[in-house]
Protein backbone atom coordinates (compact mmCIF):
# COMPACT_ATOMS: atom_id res chain seq x y z
CA UNK A 1 0.00 0.00 0.00
CA UNK A 2 1.88 3.06 -1.18
CA UNK A 3 -1.14 5.36 -1.58
CA UNK A 4 -2.16 8.15 0.78
CA UNK A 5 -3.56 5.84 3.45
CA UNK A 6 -5.02 8.55 5.65
CA UNK A 7 -7.56 9.24 2.97
CA UNK A 8 -9.06 5.76 3.50
CA UNK A 9 -8.87 5.73 7.30
CA UNK A 10 -12.64 5.65 7.86
CA UNK A 11 -13.16 2.64 5.62
CA UNK A 12 -10.04 0.85 6.88
CA UNK A 13 -11.90 0.74 10.20
CA UNK A 14 -14.65 -1.37 8.64
CA UNK A 15 -14.35 -5.05 9.47
CA UNK A 16 -15.42 -5.97 5.93
CA UNK A 17 -12.58 -3.89 4.45
CA UNK A 18 -9.49 -3.35 6.63
CA UNK A 19 -6.00 -3.34 5.04
CA UNK A 20 -6.62 -6.53 3.09
CA UNK A 21 -9.83 -5.26 1.56
CA UNK A 22 -8.33 -1.88 0.77
CA UNK A 23 -5.47 -3.58 -1.06
CA UNK A 24 -8.06 -5.50 -3.10
CA UNK A 25 -9.70 -2.17 -3.99
CA UNK A 26 -6.34 -0.61 -4.96
CA UNK A 27 -5.70 -3.60 -7.24
CA UNK A 28 -9.23 -3.68 -8.70
CA UNK A 29 -10.20 -2.79 -12.25
CA UNK A 30 -13.77 -1.57 -12.69
CA UNK A 31 -15.36 -0.28 -15.90
CA UNK A 32 -18.37 2.04 -15.89
CA UNK A 33 -20.36 2.08 -19.15
CA UNK A 34 -22.07 5.45 -19.33
CA UNK A 35 -20.82 8.55 -17.50
CA UNK A 36 -24.26 10.15 -17.08
CA UNK A 37 -26.86 10.19 -14.32
CA UNK A 38 -25.89 6.77 -12.92
CA UNK A 39 -22.26 6.88 -13.99
CA UNK A 40 -21.48 10.24 -12.34
CA UNK A 41 -22.16 9.04 -8.78
CA UNK A 42 -20.93 5.49 -9.45
CA UNK A 43 -17.58 6.77 -10.78
CA UNK A 44 -17.22 9.32 -7.99
CA UNK A 45 -17.74 6.77 -5.22
CA UNK A 46 -15.49 4.18 -6.85
CA UNK A 47 -12.75 6.81 -7.02
CA UNK A 48 -13.47 7.87 -3.42
CA UNK A 49 -13.07 4.28 -2.25
CA UNK A 50 -9.66 4.04 -3.92
CA UNK A 51 -10.51 1.58 -6.69
CA UNK A 52 -7.11 1.60 -8.40
CA UNK A 53 -8.12 1.30 -12.04
CA UNK A 54 -11.34 2.77 -13.30
CA UNK A 55 -12.44 2.72 -16.91
CA UNK A 56 -15.23 4.91 -18.16
CA UNK A 57 -16.96 4.64 -21.45
CA UNK A 58 -19.13 7.38 -22.97
CA UNK A 59 -19.24 8.82 -26.48
CA UNK A 60 -21.61 11.67 -25.61
CA UNK A 61 -21.07 15.40 -25.15
CA UNK A 62 -22.36 17.49 -22.24
CA UNK A 63 -25.73 19.11 -22.90
CA UNK A 64 -27.79 21.45 -20.68
CA UNK A 65 -30.48 18.82 -19.96
CA UNK A 66 -27.80 16.54 -18.45
CA UNK A 67 -27.11 18.88 -15.57
CA UNK A 68 -30.08 17.96 -13.32
CA UNK A 69 -28.39 14.63 -12.58
CA UNK A 70 -24.95 14.30 -14.19
CA UNK A 71 -23.01 15.82 -11.34
CA UNK A 72 -19.57 15.42 -12.91
CA UNK A 73 -20.30 18.31 -15.30
CA UNK A 74 -20.80 22.08 -15.10
CA UNK A 75 -22.42 24.64 -17.44
CA UNK A 76 -18.97 25.75 -18.71
CA UNK A 77 -18.47 22.24 -20.10
CA UNK A 78 -21.56 22.14 -22.30
CA UNK A 79 -20.51 20.81 -25.70
CA UNK A 80 -17.38 19.09 -24.35
CA UNK A 81 -16.85 15.34 -24.50
CA UNK A 82 -17.94 13.67 -21.26
CA UNK A 83 -15.30 10.93 -21.21
CA UNK A 84 -12.36 13.36 -20.99
CA UNK A 85 -13.98 15.78 -18.55
CA UNK A 86 -14.97 12.92 -16.27
CA UNK A 87 -11.44 11.51 -16.43
CA UNK A 88 -9.78 14.79 -15.46
CA UNK A 89 -12.27 15.49 -12.63
CA UNK A 90 -11.90 12.03 -11.14
CA UNK A 91 -8.10 12.15 -11.35
CA UNK A 92 -8.12 15.44 -9.44
CA UNK A 93 -10.59 14.05 -6.93
CA UNK A 94 -8.37 11.06 -6.17
CA UNK A 95 -4.85 11.08 -7.65
CA UNK A 96 -4.31 7.49 -6.41
CA UNK A 97 -6.67 6.25 -9.09
CA UNK A 98 -5.76 5.52 -12.70
CA UNK A 99 -8.60 6.48 -15.04
CA UNK A 100 -8.92 5.19 -18.59
CA UNK A 101 -11.42 7.02 -20.81
CA UNK A 102 -13.08 5.34 -23.80
CA UNK A 103 -14.85 7.90 -25.96
CA UNK A 104 -16.18 5.47 -28.54
CA UNK A 105 -19.67 3.97 -28.67
CA UNK A 106 -19.87 0.43 -27.28
CA UNK A 107 -20.69 -2.08 -30.00
CA UNK A 108 -20.83 -5.86 -30.25
CA UNK A 109 -17.40 -5.67 -31.90
CA UNK A 110 -15.52 -3.62 -29.30
CA UNK A 111 -17.36 -4.43 -26.03
CA UNK A 112 -15.66 -7.78 -25.43
CA UNK A 113 -12.15 -6.40 -26.00
CA UNK A 114 -12.78 -3.59 -23.52
CA UNK A 115 -14.63 -5.71 -20.91
CA UNK A 116 -11.86 -8.34 -20.82
CA UNK A 117 -9.53 -5.82 -19.11
CA UNK A 118 -11.82 -5.42 -16.08
CA UNK A 119 -12.82 -7.37 -12.95
CA UNK A 120 -16.30 -5.83 -12.87
CA UNK A 121 -18.40 -3.84 -15.33
CA UNK A 122 -21.09 -1.39 -14.23
CA UNK A 123 -23.94 -0.88 -16.69
CA UNK A 124 -24.89 2.77 -16.34
CA UNK A 125 -26.14 3.37 -19.87
CA UNK A 126 -29.40 5.14 -20.67
CA UNK A 127 -31.31 2.86 -23.05
CA UNK A 128 -32.47 -0.73 -23.49
CA UNK A 129 -30.54 -1.52 -26.68
CA UNK A 130 -27.23 -0.73 -24.95
CA UNK A 131 -28.30 -2.68 -21.87
CA UNK A 132 -28.96 -5.86 -23.87
CA UNK A 133 -25.58 -5.35 -25.55
CA UNK A 134 -23.57 -4.92 -22.30
CA UNK A 135 -25.43 -7.84 -20.70
CA UNK A 136 -24.58 -10.18 -23.60
CA UNK A 137 -20.96 -8.98 -23.80
CA UNK A 138 -20.44 -9.37 -20.05
CA UNK A 139 -21.87 -12.89 -20.11
CA UNK A 140 -19.86 -13.89 -23.17
CA UNK A 141 -16.62 -12.64 -21.64
CA UNK A 142 -17.40 -13.92 -18.12
CA UNK A 143 -17.14 -10.50 -16.49
CA UNK A 144 -19.45 -9.72 -13.54
CA UNK A 145 -21.94 -6.98 -14.37
CA UNK A 146 -23.80 -4.59 -12.08
CA UNK A 147 -26.93 -3.40 -13.85
CA UNK A 148 -28.72 -0.29 -12.64
CA UNK A 149 -31.47 1.65 -14.36
CA UNK A 150 -33.85 4.47 -13.54
CA UNK A 151 -37.07 5.96 -14.85
CA UNK A 152 -39.13 8.74 -13.29
CA UNK A 153 -39.02 8.02 -9.52
CA UNK A 154 -38.13 4.34 -9.89
CA UNK A 155 -34.91 2.39 -10.09
CA UNK A 156 -33.79 -1.20 -10.44
CA UNK A 157 -30.55 -2.95 -9.57
CA UNK A 158 -29.22 -6.46 -10.18
CA UNK A 159 -25.83 -8.14 -10.15
CA UNK A 160 -24.88 -10.76 -12.71
CA UNK A 161 -22.01 -13.20 -12.22
CA UNK A 162 -21.50 -15.32 -15.36
CA UNK A 163 -18.95 -17.61 -13.68
CA UNK A 164 -21.65 -18.59 -11.18
CA UNK A 165 -24.15 -18.93 -14.00
CA UNK A 166 -26.58 -16.45 -12.43
CA UNK A 167 -29.66 -15.04 -14.12
CA UNK A 168 -29.08 -11.98 -16.30
CA UNK A 169 -30.68 -8.70 -17.36
CA UNK A 170 -32.44 -10.43 -20.24
CA UNK A 171 -34.04 -12.89 -17.79
CA UNK A 172 -35.76 -9.86 -16.22
CA UNK A 173 -36.77 -8.38 -19.57
CA UNK A 174 -36.80 -11.20 -22.16
CA UNK A 175 -39.32 -9.36 -24.34
CA UNK A 176 -37.73 -6.12 -25.45
CA UNK A 177 -39.86 -3.00 -25.06
CA UNK A 178 -41.74 -2.24 -28.25
CA UNK A 179 -40.65 1.39 -28.05
CA UNK A 180 -37.46 2.76 -26.49
CA UNK A 181 -38.53 3.93 -23.02
CA UNK A 182 -35.92 6.37 -21.74
CA UNK A 183 -35.65 9.26 -19.32
CA UNK A 184 -35.84 11.49 -22.39
CA UNK A 185 -39.50 10.47 -22.65
CA UNK A 186 -40.52 9.93 -19.02
CA UNK A 187 -38.14 12.21 -17.18
CA UNK A 188 -35.85 11.52 -14.23
CA UNK A 189 -34.99 13.23 -10.97
CA UNK A 190 -31.25 13.49 -10.23
CA UNK A 191 -31.58 12.12 -6.70
CA UNK A 192 -33.13 8.90 -8.07
CA UNK A 193 -30.25 8.36 -10.51
CA UNK A 194 -27.87 9.27 -7.67
CA UNK A 195 -29.41 6.65 -5.37
CA UNK A 196 -29.12 3.81 -7.88
CA UNK A 197 -25.68 4.96 -9.14
CA UNK A 198 -24.34 4.86 -5.57
CA UNK A 199 -25.81 1.40 -5.08
CA UNK A 200 -24.08 0.25 -8.27
CA UNK A 201 -20.73 1.47 -6.88
CA UNK A 202 -21.51 -0.39 -3.65
CA UNK A 203 -22.34 -3.64 -5.49
CA UNK A 204 -19.12 -3.39 -7.54
CA UNK A 205 -17.05 -2.78 -4.38
CA UNK A 206 -18.72 -5.76 -2.68
CA UNK A 207 -17.97 -7.96 -5.69
CA UNK A 208 -14.28 -7.00 -5.39
CA UNK A 209 -14.32 -7.68 -1.64
CA UNK A 210 -16.18 -10.98 -2.05
CA UNK A 211 -19.18 -9.83 -0.01
CA UNK A 212 -22.91 -10.56 -0.41
CA UNK A 213 -24.36 -9.23 -3.68
CA UNK A 214 -27.72 -9.02 -5.46
CA UNK A 215 -27.22 -12.20 -7.49
CA UNK A 216 -30.33 -13.83 -8.96
CA UNK A 217 -32.31 -10.98 -7.45
CA UNK A 218 -33.56 -7.60 -8.51
CA UNK A 219 -33.97 -4.65 -6.20
CA UNK A 220 -36.84 -2.38 -7.14
CA UNK A 221 -36.68 1.10 -5.61
CA UNK A 222 -39.65 3.43 -5.57
CA UNK A 223 -38.68 6.91 -4.50
CA UNK A 224 -42.25 8.15 -4.14
CA UNK A 225 -43.41 5.35 -1.84
CA UNK A 226 -40.01 4.96 -0.11
CA UNK A 227 -39.95 1.25 -0.82
CA UNK A 228 -37.08 -1.08 -1.65
CA UNK A 229 -38.27 -4.49 -2.71
CA UNK A 230 -35.92 -7.38 -3.49
CA UNK A 231 -37.33 -10.29 -5.44
CA UNK A 232 -35.91 -13.36 -7.13
CA UNK A 233 -34.99 -13.34 -10.79
CA UNK A 234 -35.57 -16.82 -12.08
CA UNK A 235 -33.04 -17.96 -14.64
CA UNK A 236 -34.95 -18.70 -17.82
CA UNK A 237 -33.88 -21.83 -19.62
CA UNK A 238 -35.04 -20.06 -22.77
CA UNK A 239 -32.74 -17.05 -22.16
CA UNK A 240 -30.62 -16.41 -25.24
CA UNK A 241 -27.81 -15.00 -23.08
CA UNK A 242 -27.35 -17.06 -19.90
CA UNK A 243 -29.00 -20.46 -20.45
CA UNK B 1 -63.51 -12.08 -5.52
CA UNK B 2 -60.21 -13.90 -5.68
CA UNK B 3 -56.89 -13.26 -3.94
CA UNK B 4 -53.83 -12.73 -6.11
CA UNK B 5 -50.32 -11.99 -4.87
CA UNK B 6 -49.33 -8.90 -6.82
CA UNK B 7 -45.77 -7.62 -6.45
CA UNK B 8 -45.47 -9.50 -3.18
CA UNK B 9 -48.76 -8.34 -1.65
CA UNK B 10 -52.09 -10.16 -1.50
CA UNK B 11 -54.82 -8.23 -3.27
CA UNK B 12 -58.48 -8.93 -3.82
CA UNK B 13 -59.60 -8.70 -7.40
CA UNK B 14 -62.76 -9.49 -9.35
CA UNK B 15 -63.41 -12.95 -10.76
CA UNK B 16 -62.66 -13.48 -14.44
CA UNK B 17 -60.03 -10.76 -14.61
CA UNK B 18 -57.42 -11.24 -17.30
CA UNK B 19 -53.89 -9.89 -17.00
CA UNK B 20 -54.83 -7.29 -19.62
CA UNK B 21 -57.92 -6.30 -17.58
CA UNK B 22 -55.84 -6.00 -14.42
CA UNK B 23 -53.36 -3.65 -16.13
CA UNK B 24 -56.18 -1.56 -17.58
CA UNK B 25 -58.00 -1.33 -14.23
CA UNK B 26 -54.79 -0.04 -12.67
CA UNK B 27 -54.02 2.47 -15.42
CA UNK B 28 -50.88 0.59 -16.46
CA UNK B 29 -49.92 0.85 -20.11
CA UNK B 30 -49.05 -2.73 -21.17
CA UNK B 31 -46.22 -1.59 -23.42
CA UNK B 32 -44.45 -0.04 -20.42
CA UNK B 33 -44.27 -3.21 -18.30
CA UNK B 34 -43.06 -6.78 -18.14
CA UNK B 35 -45.45 -9.23 -16.50
CA UNK B 36 -44.46 -12.43 -14.72
CA UNK B 37 -47.41 -14.77 -14.14
CA UNK B 38 -46.82 -17.66 -11.75
CA UNK B 39 -43.05 -17.28 -12.24
CA UNK B 40 -43.13 -17.26 -16.04
CA UNK B 41 -42.68 -14.07 -18.05
CA UNK B 42 -45.72 -13.51 -20.22
CA UNK B 43 -45.35 -12.83 -23.91
CA UNK B 44 -46.91 -9.36 -24.24
CA UNK B 45 -49.11 -10.69 -27.04
CA UNK B 46 -50.79 -13.11 -24.61
CA UNK B 47 -51.83 -10.85 -21.74
CA UNK B 48 -55.50 -10.94 -22.73
CA UNK B 49 -55.47 -14.76 -22.82
CA UNK B 50 -54.53 -15.29 -19.17
CA UNK B 51 -57.38 -15.21 -16.66
CA UNK B 52 -56.26 -14.78 -13.06
CA UNK B 53 -57.36 -17.44 -10.58
CA UNK B 54 -57.33 -17.62 -6.80
CA UNK B 55 -53.79 -17.63 -5.26
CA UNK B 56 -52.01 -16.78 -8.50
CA UNK B 57 -48.81 -14.76 -8.35
CA UNK B 58 -48.30 -11.74 -10.54
CA UNK B 59 -45.24 -9.52 -10.85
CA UNK B 60 -45.58 -6.33 -12.83
CA UNK B 61 -42.28 -4.55 -13.45
CA UNK B 62 -41.95 -1.37 -15.45
CA UNK B 63 -39.41 -1.19 -18.19
CA UNK B 64 -36.81 0.77 -16.28
CA UNK B 65 -33.89 1.44 -18.60
CA UNK B 66 -32.78 5.04 -18.26
CA UNK B 67 -29.61 6.37 -16.77
ZN1 LIG C 1 -30.63 -14.61 -18.83
A84 to A76, A81, A125, A130: CA distances (angstroms): 14, 6, 17, 21
Q: Is residue A45 part of a domain?
A: yes
Going from the Cα of A110 to the center of ligand 1, the distance in angstroms, rounded, reads: 21
Look up residue A66 and give its DSSP letter.
G
Nearest Cα to Cα of residue A217 among A169, A182, A150, A153: A169
Q: Is residue A124 part of a domain?
A: yes
Q: Is residue A97 part of a domain?
A: yes
Query: Are residues A144 and A159 in contact, defined by beta-carbon separation less than 8 angstroms?
Result: yes
Q: Is residue A238 part of a domain?
A: no
Which band of pLDDT confidence, cut at 50, 70 and 90, is reported for residue A183? Answer: confident
Q: Domain range holding A173?
A: 5-232
H or E segment to which residue B6 belongs: strand B2-6
3-state secondary structure of A152: strand
A67 to A14, A108, A192, B32: CA distances (angstroms): 34, 29, 14, 26
Which band of pLDDT confidence, cut at 50, 70 and 90, is reported for residue A2? Answer: low
Look up residue A100 and give its DSSP letter.
E
Going from the Cα of A140 to the center of ligand 1, the distance in angstroms, rounded, reads: 12
Q: Is residue A190 part of a domain?
A: yes
CB spacing of B8 vs A126 below 8 angstroms: no
CB spacing of A178 vs B34 below 8 angstroms: no
Domains for chain B: give ranges and CATH numbers. 2-61 (3.10.20.30)
| Cα angle for residues A38, A40, A44 (degrees, 5° grid) | 120
A67's CB contacts (< 8 A; 6+ apart) are: A73, A74, A75
pLDDT tens per residue across span B15-62: 999 999 999 999 999 999 999 999 999 999 999 999 999 999 999 999
CB spacing of A149 vs B67 below 8 angstroms: yes
E strands, A44-201, are 53-57, 98-102, 120-123, 145-151, 154-160
| Chain A residues lying within 8 Å of B43, measured CB to CB | 175
Average the pLDDT over A140-156 and give the result.
Answer: 97
Q: Is residue A241 part of a domain?
A: no
Higher pLDDT, A220 or A178: A220
Query: Are residues A38 and A148 in contact, defined by beta-carbon separation less than 8 angstroms?
Result: yes
**Mean per-residue pLDDT of chain B:** 96
The CATH number linked to A18 is: 3.40.50.720
Going from the Cα of A229 to the center of ligand 1, the distance in angstroms, rounded, reads: 21
Considering CB atoms only, which of A36, A173, A236 is closest to B67? A36
Number of folded domains that form chain A: 1
Average the pLDDT over A123-150 and give the result.
Answer: 97
pLDDT at A138 over 90: yes
3-state secondary structure of A29: strand
Query: Are residues B4 and B16 in contact, defined by beta-carbon separation less than 8 angstroms?
Result: no
Amino acid sequence: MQNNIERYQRQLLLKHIGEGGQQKLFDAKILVCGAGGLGSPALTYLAAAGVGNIGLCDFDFVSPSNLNRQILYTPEEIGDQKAYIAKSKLEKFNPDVKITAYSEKLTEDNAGDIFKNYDVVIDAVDNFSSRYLTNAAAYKNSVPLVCGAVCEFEGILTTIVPEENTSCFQCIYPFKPSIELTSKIFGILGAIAGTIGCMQALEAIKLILGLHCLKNKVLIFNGIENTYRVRDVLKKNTCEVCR
Amino acid sequence: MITVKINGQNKEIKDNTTVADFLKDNNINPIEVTVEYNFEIVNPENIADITLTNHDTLEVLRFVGGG
